[in-house]
């Protein structure tokens, strides 16, 4: 095995950074545009202030900030924002999932 192969194996990524960028840029550009559209739709809604106080919205915004603030652990940081880390079942245990914990949106 050559030195370059060993280095990429140690990082957990078999591709070079430029290869990852070339392969996944358009897909993730589309995702980012979808997120921007989602936020624009919220901004055009009636009573946008009430939506901005909603825990789902707050969690989403907090998670977007975590993507920029945690370069070494983005995925974990985002997952923790959406996760309920309490140890005891809540009163709503068994209810449909909302996708974010009410206590996590800060």
Confidence at residue 94, expressed as pLDDT on a 0 to 100 scale? 58
Q: Which pLDDT band holds residue 10 (cuts at 50, 70, 90)?
A: low
Contacts of residue 106, Cβ cutoff 8 Å, sequence gap at least 6: 58, 62
Q: Are 20 and 13 in contact (CB under 8 A)?
A: yes
What are 57-105's pLDDT values in tens digits? 999 999 999 999 988 899 999 999 988 887 777 666 555 556 676 766 5
**Cβ partners under 8 Å of residue 73, min gap 6:** none
């Amino acid at each position: 095995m050559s030195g370059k192969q060993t280095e990429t194996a140690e990082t957990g990524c078999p591709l070079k950074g430029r290869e990852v960028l070339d392969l996944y840029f358009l897909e993730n550009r589309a995702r980012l545009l979808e997120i921007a559209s989602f936020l624009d739709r919220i901004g055009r809604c009636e009573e946008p202030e009430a939506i901005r106080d909603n825990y789902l919205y707050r969690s989403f915004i907090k998670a977007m900030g975590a993507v920029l603030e945690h370069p070494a652990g983005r995925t974990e940081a985002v997952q923790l924002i959406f996760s309920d880390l309490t140890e005891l079942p809540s009163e709503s245990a068994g209810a449909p999932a909302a996708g974010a914990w009410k206590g996590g949106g800060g």
